[in-house]
Amino acid sequence: MMNTKSTVAVILGFSAILIVGSNSALAQSKFNEDDFKIKDFGIKDGIPWLTVEGKAGGSTPENASLIYAYAFVTDNGTYAVASHGVEDSAEVENDTEWHTHGVTLDEKNCVAKLNDDGDAEVNDMVKVTNITATKVDKVMTAELTINNEDASVCVSKLIDSAP
């Protein structure tokens, strides 16, 4: 099993592994830490979910080299619901919109592998749909950074985790 830092990095970096982002500003909402402070989490009918103290999905990156993610470590892999400024997902038209990737992190907490598995639902809670899971072992929220020199995507800040 992956350690917590590795899991977070995988989940969050999922969207940016193929990206060489620029530092151009994005017209998005400013970071509010409460939007990433985990209040509760679980699974219902095979759908992992979490709630936060603030507004789920209320903050999106203002910079193309940042990724915000809600990560779910399940019995069927790790999934990240993410928002970022680089296009890499067919799930949404604009990748600043919340979308899901299956992710794997390396020993440096950088994204080693990602796919388009799962779909995101973000409203009063964050959910990962269209996956097969029966258990959520851990949830995390994190910020990832895209390195413009080598296009690596790594966890730069673990914001919160539970349990």
Q: What is the mean pLDDT of the chain?
A: 82
Written as one letter, the residue type at 62 is: E
Say what the pLDDT of residue 96 is. Answer: 65
Segment 97-122, tens digit of pLDDT: 799 999 999 999 999 999 999 999 99
Locate 88 and state its tokens: 């890499």
Say what the pLDDT of residue 3 is. Answer: 53
Residue of 79, 8, 13 whose CA lies nearest to 48: 79
The reported pTM is 0.79
d(CA 8, CA 111): 9
Say what the pLDDT of residue 145 is. Answer: 94
Locate 26 and state its tokens: 């994005």
Indicate the domain borders of the chain.
4-162
Residue ranges for the chain with pLDDT beneath 70: 1-29, 86-96
